[in-house]
Chains A and B, each alone.
Chain A
Amino acid sequence: MSGFSSEYLNTRLSIYASRLISFEQLVNFIQYDLERIIAAVQELTGHYYQLDGAKSNLIENQLTNRAMDDFLILIRPFSGSERRFFYFAIRWFELANLKVLIRGKFSGIESLKIKQELIDLGQFADLPIKKLLETDDPYEMLRLLETTPYAGIVRQARRMYEEHGNDLFLLDATIDRSFFIDLNQRARFLRDQDAQYVSRVMGGLLDRFNLLWLLRYRFSYGLSAAKSFYLLTTTGNKLYASELMRLAKMDSIEEVIAALPDPYRDLLANIGVIANMETVMEYYSLSIAANALHRKSNLLSRSFAYIMLREAEVRFLQALIKGKQLELDPELIEQAVGASS
């Protein structure tokens, strides 16, 4: 990348970083009504959003579309393996659609209802949504999905479905796991320095996934230590394979928490519920990303950190807006967006 391009990207990233909504601000939105939330988001991000009561997912689509527009600008200066990595990282957004489709078809939900939950990703979309919605049964959909770039992920999901039936949480975890493995593999093709910086940002995310799913597999699903460990993904920043293997053999959540390396032991010390631990771990991994974004060290890791933070922001706002549209109680919304712990 030329000096001019990297300066351009650095400036762009700094502008985008300044437009991200902080967690505290997002939590404050829970008390607002829908119009006020939209107005506040517009003011903070500079993007215009249109509310339409008749189209329930219009605003969710707009939030994603704006993010995609920004990513499109960020991706331009990259080329080669950097561009491929960036492009793959953006697929993270499409995983949400993939999950909605798989969950929907496995649960026998009508195509029209599934369609309402899907988000339009514009030119970043790889899934043939129209054809997928026209499938008549889950296996037909899986066969079609196996012709898309998500073939590997889908094969794992199929296996999980055949093994454990229609357990939506396990299906989600399987999809995430496969995605992280693929993402990590793509990171290996980056230049050494890029790979090093990116893996630091990604590490927090992987630790979060591994720890929480280790706890769930072992103590919610009662799986064996070996199987629980096997179902984890690539290792992250602090929780290496040997560490995870040691933790997998433990007999209670408390024992695992007490044996965690710092800072996870302190962060999770007094939290007994896995869902709350997830929130704490998510904010910790996002704080690593936020640090990387504000430190002008490596462009690719900054861009990746921005994708992570923007994804979390969009996800939070989508859940909040959905909650408001359904007129849910603020406490329930707090739980849904993970702001209660």
Chain B
Amino acid sequence: MWQTPLAMEKVSLYMVDVDAQQAAMTLACLAVMHPLESKAGEQDLQDYPAAPYFTVYHDLNSRFGKIAIYLKTPFKQPATTTGIVTLDELQRLDEQLKEIWARVSELEELTRRQNEKMNVTRQLSSSLQKFAALDLDLSRLRRRGRFLRIVVGSVPSVNFDQLKRALSLTNFMINRFYSSEGIDHVVVFGSSQQQEDVHDVLDSADFRGLNVPQEFSGSPSQLRADLNREIEQENKTLDELKGALTELLSRHMPDLQNAHDLLRLAGPYASLATVLRGKGGLVFLLGWVPAQRDQEIRKKLERDLKFPFHVEFSAPEQKEYDAVPSLLKKSWLLKPFQALVRNFGIPGYREVDPSGLFALSYIFMFGMMFGDIGHGAVIVLASLLLWKRFPGVTIVGVLAGISSIFFGFVYGSLFGYEHVVQPLWMSPMHDPIKILLVAVLWGASFILIANLLAIRNYIASGLPRQALFSGKGLAGLFFYLAAFFASYQLLANNRFTWLEGLLLLLPMAVILQFQWRQSSGGLIERLLVVLIEGLEHIISNVSGTLSFLRVAAFSLNHVALAAAVFAIAGMMDAFGHGITVILGNIFIIVLEGAIVAIQCLRLEYYEGFSRFFSGKGKAFEPLKIET
């Protein structure tokens, strides 16, 4: 429950440049090293030997990604999982993929144009519906009259007004006869002498003319049939383009599979572009590794590298703690809870990983707020159904459900019925004050534990003054205990003497004095900051503790909701009663269950984590071969 991230060591590896790629591959296979960018020795080792490799890799990877989107079949598992990919190989591959992509891009552009063309034809076809009622010979639209020229077509609606004004400068008129989906279908007519000017303006306005074929001399319905044939033809062209793309990709599938395999192997070395430094044939690599694996790393490097190398492992210094990545111990049970902790932040290297405590308190609170044997059992069963798709949800759901069942026995509640099972303790409604008191005591214990963890984290991070004198440190802990004691004396014994006052004032004075030393600025400014922070400390402790009243409130709410369901059901006949009880229980499980889950998370994050957990740690991201 009190785990900390695994102990780390800084690894410094000096080697000959020809071995650098092999070293990257060896370390990637082990997946043990978190590479570290360091400015130390920057003047001596000015070169970044992996940078040119990265440039080619990056281009190649991006091009590969663009092509891969069009592939319908997944890649096969690579035959080799280890190996060195040279820069020349990458460059050759890049050239190959450049050609493939150029062809894919060309086909994509042709498809786009074809789609655009087809849309226009479709729109023209639908616009002809407006002519259908007229017995009009459309071939007249094709014939250029001696004085009058008529053009039919479509134009984007946004361009219509401006086009209308512009055409008036050429003595042409435009008339909208149908409008749909942002396209206006129009008739343009005017003097035959002005053709060039008009076409230029119409082109700019994205005007698409209705093409009346030479041989055509029929009615609108016949032209529409003609346009439909055109759409069919265009669809065929689209299919041909799709076919050409499929054929192209299947023809190049071996090349793409090769690119896929080589990119996997090239990834580790390319990712060291800004980390690996060198000069004159010597390269230097820095990183963090789990302390327990240093000998394994040394042995593997001795086995794989051709030339002599020098490797050093050293424990991190205190000043480096912020930079050390946190590798948390793996546990299938805690995995979903670790994910919820990560939502808040990653534990710092020397911080306690709160996942265990979080899991335990979350499950406990959920049960306390949602205690019901039947509802808990439904949650367990529903969660088990999700095992294959969402294993994390199942783990949290089953544990929360079991906790709910346990508290169901404690409260004597089964699907909201309070008199079927004998309670091990009592129903929350039986004595609400008692349950509220229990919630406050639970909250106080929770905050005290959080305070103790904060003190431990301060000490582990080398901050003894904060551990002793800050509001989250020992002084804060004493203040909280004193406040609790004073509240108890006042409420239970109606007593508040100099002793209680002194117990409160002493730790508060220490906290304020510490804050005074920490603050900077003018006298008034410092005074204000210290007073406000002191006040904020008192308020946050009080509000934090009272915040846990919701634990009791929701347990009461659960009973009250069930009572409301039974009251409604009581007004129905036997069938209606049954239906109401079933639906009411579903409503309680889904809605109240979700609210309780969120409220528990809120208490964990705001009343727990914010008191002891910085969440400013760095995730351990080892050099590895991507799958």
Contact = CB atoms under 8 A, between A and B. Distances in A.
Given A134-B62, A230-B163, A245-B169, A139 B109 contact: yes
The SS class assigned to the A binding surface is: helix
- The bracket for how many chain B residues form the interface is 20 to 34
Interface residues of A, number: 22
B331 interface: no
Contacts of B169: 225-226, 229, 245, 248-249
Given A143-B109, A181-B158, A224-B197, A136 B98 contact: yes
Most buried by B among A229, A230, A232: A230
A139 B105 contact: yes
B129 to A, nearest CB: 26
A197 B162 CA distance: 24
Contacts of B102: 136-137
B101 A224 contact: no
Given A134-B59, A229-B165, 15 more contacts: A137-B105, A139-B109, A159-B206, A163-B204, A224-B200, A226-B198, A226-B200, A229-B162, A229-B169, A230-B201, A232-B162, A241-B165, A245-B169, A248-B169, A249-B169
A224 B165 contact: no
A326 B83 CA distance: 47
A159 B203 CA distance: 9
B540 to A, nearest CB: 26
A143 B112 contact: yes
B457 to A, nearest CB: 32
Interface of A: 134, 136-137, 139-140, 143, 159, 163, 181, 223-227, 229-232, 241, 245, 248-249
Contacts of B170: 224, 226
B166 A227 contact: yes
B108 A227 contact: no
B168 interface: yes
Interface in B151-208: 158, 162-163, 165-170, 197-198, 200-201, 203-206
Contacts, number: 61
28 contacts: A134-B59, A134-B62, A134-B63, A134-B66, A136-B105, A137-B102, A139-B105, A140-B105, A140-B108, A143-B112, A159-B204, A159-B206, A163-B203, A163-B204, A224-B170, A224-B197, A224-B201, A225-B169, A226-B197, A226-B198, A226-B200, A227-B200, A227-B204, A229-B165, A230-B201, A231-B204, A241-B165, A245-B168
Contacts of A139: 105, 109
A86 to B, nearest CB: 22
Contacts of A223: 200
Contacts of A137: 102, 105
Contacts of B63: 134, 136
A198 B163 CA distance: 26
Interface of B: 59, 62-63, 66, 98, 101-102, 105, 108-109, 112, 158, 162-163, 165-170, 197-198, 200-201, 203-206
A225 B165 CA distance: 11
Nearest to A225: B169
Contact of A230 (B59, B108, B204): B204
Nearest to B55: A112
B98 A230 contact: no
A163 B200 CA distance: 10
Nearest to A223: B200
Nearest to A143: B112
Contacts of A241: 165
A208 B197 CA distance: 26
Contacts of B165: 229, 241, 245
B166 A229 contact: yes
Contacts of B168: 245
B197 A227 contact: yes
Nearest to A130: B62
Contacts of A226: 166-167, 169-170, 197-198, 200-201
